[in-house]
Amino acid sequence: MLLMAGAFCLAGCRSGSDLRDQFQLSDYTLSFDERLRLELAAPIIVLGKVTDVEVVGTPTKSLGDPRINTQLTNIRISVEMAIKGGPLPNQLRFSLFTYSQQNDATLGVPQYNPAVGQRRIYFLKRWSDGYRSIGDVTNYNLHIESGTHEEGVCGGISPGCCIARLLLVPGQNFDADQFAKDIGPAAAASQVLCSRAEARALLEKLTTHRDKRIADAAIDIISMENWR
């Protein structure tokens, strides 16, 4: 685990004429667990906050599904933590293709709409002299509702277990109500990315949290049959 240092990265700023979207028909039916395993295999996993979103060029027909249009987008993040594949610069720019607003209908599955201020874990790979998301259009990222954490929160553990801690260990300056609402999905992700035992242990700690909303949510989750 490294806190980032380095120069601003201009990766992904090219016109995009040599970039094509990676969207596939299988993205429509990819299960929650399958997506998480693909994400965990990414060469670069980084936690950061979006500081700029730049639309590049015009929408194009997707190679994976010509019925939809995709839009090349550059995203700049302020890097908070390199979970895997560091060291990385303090400011990192990467490319992905989003679902174009020029489409006539909704995608039918959750899609990713980047916006300034989002704080997420992104799953990236190096491309040419820059970076790009390992997947496009749909949600190849995880939002974090637990606030900010101390540098050593992930010391000596695997990337998947680090993500589990970031999802289920409250830090500083977090929204307790939103964190409580997100405990169920966070726990489900944590048992895939790390282990069922670790996810349950993190849930059990939350059952004694001083905020009743958080404690009650953790108790409700851990009392479910699949967690017994």
Mean pLDDT (the chain) is: 91
Q: What is the pTM of this model?
A: 0.90
Q: What is the 3-state secondary structure (H, E, C) of 43-94?
A: CEEEEEEEEEEEECCCCEECCCCCCCEEEEEEEEEEEEEEEECCCCCCEEEE
Q: What is the pLDDT of residues 142-180, one digit of tens each?
A: 999 999 998 889 988 999 999 999 999 999 999 999 999
- The predicted pLDDT at position 128 comes to 86
- The predicted pLDDT at position 37 comes to 98
Quick one: pLDDT band at residue 17, thresholds 50, 70, 90? low
Q: What is the pLDDT of residues 178-226, one digit of tens each?
A: 999 999 999 999 999 999 999 999 999 999 999 999 999 999 999 997 8
Quick one: pLDDT band at residue 2, thresholds 50, 70, 90? very low
- 85 sits in the region (left: phi over 0; alpha: psi -120 to 50; else beta) called left
Does the pLDDT of residue 129 top 50, yes or no?
yes
Q: What is the pLDDT of residues 34-79, one digit of tens each?
A: 999 999 999 999 999 999 999 999 999 999 999 999 999 999 999 9
